[in-house]
Amino acid sequence: MYCANEKRYDEMIYNFCGKSGLRLPAVSLGLWHNFGDDDIYSNMEKMVHTAFDLGITHFDLANNYGPSPGAAEENFGKILDNGMRAYRDELCISTKAGYNMWSGPYGDRNGSRKYLTASLDQSLKRMRLDYVDIFYHHVFDPNTPLEETALALDNAVRQGKALYVGISNYNSEQTSEISKIFKELKTPFIINQIEYSMLNRWIEDDGLKETAQENGIGLIVFSPLKQGLLTDKYLNDIPSDSRIGKGNTWIGESLNPLMIGKLKKLNEIAQNRGQSLAQMALSWILRDGKITSVIVGASRPQQIIDNTKAIYKSNFTEEEIKKIEEVLL
């Protein structure tokens, strides 16, 4: 039976999520990849245990994480049953709904009250939970009124099925619009989950960091390593067991000589900082205090151990920032 590390809270940094009282670890664990029905259960269980032993209390899921929809939630439920459920009150468990999930008009990509309500019920059943800590609308839906989506999320809280709500993949304007509705409803809306990395900086041009602060919500980042590009995997060749090597990602198209040159220069800066490229990429996201947490994925426990070390060096000198900016131009 699993027994958690007694010193798990000694070193992790916990940041308040916007103006809420909820604190999230600076590094969270995402179950997007490597927790599905075609993965090894013992490895995924070990990764969850490793993360929690390091003070990572936040585990991020979605209804469609699989590859078979729902598989990651089912496996996480098994991990909870096998010893982790005893620590439920120490865990922040989030899930999302919004992308294609089941056949027909009520389970395709949308933000309707029908879909969101049914999906959350399914997620709770798969994980055998009474509630999730954060329930997200996974992607903005232009075909559903924002009021309907907001009311569905608000209703989840009122029913006791979620403690907080969030949005994902919403830009600055969309975030501001739904925030107004949540304020009228007095919904505990606390977070927007977005893609952000050294190689994808759209939120800076969009003004989303400022919008989040103005509305008192946190920002949590997925794909901070650009699906593995911002690691040392691809500095020399393409490993056969990597996502690109397996053909499991579209990012291989961007791995051209120019990109490899940038990665090698960034890696040199990282080495001079005493970090791996991945660690520096995570530290860079956390550098200005405007990001609540970064969600890391992993294929083995050691990656979680290595990436968590990013929290120890989130400060950059002006010279380091200048060098990084010159590479990213």
Angle, in degrees to the nearest 10, between helices 172-185 and 146-158: 50
Residue type for position 123: S
Q: What interhelical angle do 146-158 and 113-127 show, nearest 10?
A: 40
pTM for this predicted structure: 0.94
Alpha-carbon gap, residue 83 to 129, rounded angstroms: 14
CA distance 325 to 329: 6
pLDDT per residue rounded down to tens, the chain (329 residues) = 899 999 999 999 999 999 999 999 999 999 999 999 999 999 999 999 999 999 999 999 999 999 999 999 999 999 999 999 999 999 999 999 999 999 999 999 999 999 999 999 999 999 999 999 999 999 999 999 999 999 999 999 999 999 999 999 999 999 999 999 999 999 999 999 999 999 999 999 999 999 999 999 999 999 999 988 999 988 876 555 555 545 555 566 778 888 999 999 999 999 999 999 999 999 999 999 999 999 999 999 999 999 999 999 999 999 999 999 999 98
Number of H helices, E strands in the chain: 12, 10
Residue 67: cis peptide before it, omega within 30 degrees of 0: yes
DSSP 142: T
CATH for 14-227+279-316 is 3.20.20.100
Nearest to 146 by CA among 116, 114, 181: 181
CA-CA-CA-CA dihedral for 171, 294, 244, 103, to nearest 10: -60
Burial, 106: exposed, middle or buried (Cβ in 10 Å; 0-12, 13-18, 19+)? middle
- Counting Cα atoms < 13 Å in the Cβ hemisphere of 295 gives 22
Q: How many Å is the Cα radius of gyration of the chain?
A: 19
